[in-house]
């Protein structure tokens, strides 16, 4: 009597990583949408003065953030940055379940805040101050765009023919990308950003 062989595939980090990038490639339209919306609102924040109430809220947010991180050591700062970024990118993907509303709003908010902060930097130290912001985003921004784009894609599953299958496929692949691409990018970004913030204190 023939014994059936079990169809067991060994877990491979290399294969999971390849699958992650393949899904990113297949989802590039949604990622490009996130990039486009983000930079549109960067320009809005940069060239259109914030209304009084919004300006006040953003300045309070920035001051509280600076006060919270003021006395942190390098290790604490790196850990704080990584933790916040990992949480926000995970929510950017997972909360896309609700028709992509959260990642859309997060894209708008992040873009506007960057434009607002860029304008403050220019007003305080000239346009060359923008170069100081560049190292902070080399790894963090791609991770953010990927997560927000995948969150937007996850939000369209109710409009697919096979809703359950589409949901399972989008969610599984998005989580794979999160762990194998987004998190490593955020670890590198956190180390760079935390180190630079300590150096300029």
Q: pTM (2 decimals)?
A: 0.88
> How many independent structural domains does the chain possess?
1
Could you read off the pLDDT of 65-76 as tens digits, one per residue?
888 888 888 899
Question: What Rg do the C-alpha atoms of the chain give, in angstroms?
Answer: 20
Identify the residue whose tokens are 């860029």. Answer: 118
Residue with tokens 């699958």: 19
Q: Cα separation of 24 and 103, whole Å? A: 16
Domain carrying residue 191:
17-199
Asked if residue 78 is part of any domain, the answer here is yes
The CA distance from 17 to 28, in Å, is 17
35 vs 30: CA distance, rounded Å: 9
15-34 pLDDT, tens digit per residue, is 999 999 999 999 999 999 99
The predicted-structure confidence for 40-95, as pLDDT tens digits, reads as follows 999 999 998 888 889 999 999 889 988 888 888 889 999 999 999 999 999 999 99
Q: Confirm whether 1 is domain-assigned.
A: no
Residue 11: inside a domain: no
Residue 9 maps to a domain:
no
User: Hey, what are 76's tokens?
Assistant: 């604490």
Closest CA to 27 of 81, 78, 103: 103
In a domain, 8, yes or no: no
Looking at the domain assignment, is residue 171 inside a domain?
Answer: yes
Tell me, yes or no, whether 157 lies in a domain: yes
Assigned domain for 191 exists: yes
């Amino acid at each position: 009597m023939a014994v059936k062989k079990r169809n067991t595939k060994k877990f491979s980090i290399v294969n999971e990583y390849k699958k992650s990038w393949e899904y990113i490639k297949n989802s590039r339209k949604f990622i490009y949408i996130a990039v486009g919306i983000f930079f549109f609102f960067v320009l809005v924040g940069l060239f259109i003065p914030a209304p009084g109430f919004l300006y006040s809220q953003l300045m309070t947010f920035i001051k509280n953030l600076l006060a919270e991180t003021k006395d942190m050591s390098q290790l604490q700062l790196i850990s704080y940055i990584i933790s916040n970024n990992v949480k926000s990118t995970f929510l950017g993907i997972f909360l896309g379940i609700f028709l992509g509303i959260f990642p859309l709003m997060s894209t708008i908010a992040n873009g506007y805040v960057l434009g607002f902060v860029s304008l403050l930097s220019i007003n305080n130290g000239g346009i060359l101050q923008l170069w100081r912001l560049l190292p902070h985003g080399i790894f963090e921004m791609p991770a953010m765009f990927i997560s927000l784009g995948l969150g937007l894609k996850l939000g369209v599953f109710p409009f697919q023919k096979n809703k359950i299958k589409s949901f399972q496929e989008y969610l599984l692949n998005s989580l794979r990308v999160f762990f194998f691409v987004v998190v490593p990018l955020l670890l590198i970004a956190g180390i760079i950003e935390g180190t630079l913030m300590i150096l300029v204190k």
